[in-house]
Amino acid sequence: MTVGEKRAEAGTDTPPDVLDGPFSTRQLLRIDEALRLADQGTGLVFSVYVGGLDEPIREHAERLHRQLAEPDRSVLIAVSPNQRQLEVVTGRYARKRIPDTYAKLAALSMVASFGGGDLAGGIIQGLDQLASHAGKG
Amino acid sequence: MSVTETLLIFVGIPAAVVLLITGMVFAANRGGGGAKRYRPGRRFDFTPVWFLGRPEQLADSAGTALAAGAQAPALTSHKQEKAGIEAPAGGTGGASDRW
Give the tens place of pLDDT for each residue, B47-58: 888 888 776 666
In whole angstroms, how far apart are CA B72 and each of A10, A11, A17, A52, B56? 18, 21, 12, 10, 15
Interchain CB distance below 8 Å, A111 and B39: no
Confidence of residue B88 (pLDDT cuts 50, 70, 90): very low
Question: What is the dihedral sign for C-alpha A6, A10, A13, A14?
Answer: negative
pLDDT at res. A16: 62
For the cut 80, the answer to whether the pLDDT of residue A66 exceeds it is yes
From the list B38, B48, B93, the residue facing A103 with the nearest CB is B93
For the cut 90, the answer to whether the pLDDT of residue B20 exceeds it is yes
Which of B77, B97, B98 has the highest number of chain A CBs within 10 A, making it the mutation to test binding with A? B97
The residue type of B57 is Q
- CB-CB neighbors (< 8 A) of B91 in chain A: 72, 91-92, 95
pLDDT at res. A130: 92
pLDDT at res. B19: 96
Spatial distance between the Cα atoms of A107 and A122, rounded to a whole number of angstroms: 9
Cβ(A61)–Cβ(B83) below 8 Å = no
Interchain CB distance below 8 Å, A88 and B99: no
Question: What is the dihedral sign for C-alpha A110, A105, A39, A132?
Answer: positive
State how far residue B7 is from chain A, nearest Cα, in angstroms: 47
Cβ(A24)–Cβ(A113) below 8 Å = no
Q: Are strands B93-98 and A85-90 parallel, antiparallel or unpaired?
A: antiparallel
For the cut 90, the answer to whether the pLDDT of residue A111 exceeds it is yes
Which of A24, A39, A47, A72 has the highest number of chain B CBs within 10 A, making it the mutation to test binding with B? A47
Nearest to A49 by CA among A19, A86, A104, A16: A86
Q: State pTM to two decimals.
A: 0.69
State how far residue A72 is from chain B, nearest Cα, in angstroms: 8
- Within chain A, where are the H helices? 3-9, 25-42, 57-66, 92-97, 100-115, 119-134
Confidence of residue A15 (pLDDT cuts 50, 70, 90): low
